Amino acid sequence: MPSAVDINWYIALSGILFVIGALGVLLRRNAIILFMSIELMLNSANLLFVAFARHLGELEGQVLVFFVITVAAAEVAVGLALIVAIFRSKKSINIDEINLLKG
């Protein structure tokens, strides 16, 4: 076991979290949980950014994370508003019931 974790560990963690998030998106039908999973995926990406910022000794990685968080916040706000709106009309947040796009 090495004396200190290096970037590879973070990559591994980030990858695992990302995959879990993706699985959440793919498997859950609850729209809210789906959104949470997306947040998780974004979070895993953020982690990697910060890790690389540290690894490369750059500040830009952190700046980017800042922006990602902003976008995520905006996205969650709009997404949740959507869910509320859909819930009002369909009385459900099961995304399998929201299939107006069905061909």
Strand partners, 94: 30
In 3D, which of 48, 49, 38 has the Cα closest to residue 78? 38
Give the helix ranges, DSSP H, for 1-103.
Answer: 7-27, 31-56, 60-90
Least CB distance to other proteins at residue 21 (A): 7
CA distance 82 to 103: 22
Q: Find the shortest distance in angstroms from Cβ 91 to other proteins.
A: 8
CB of 55 to other proteins, least distance (A): 7
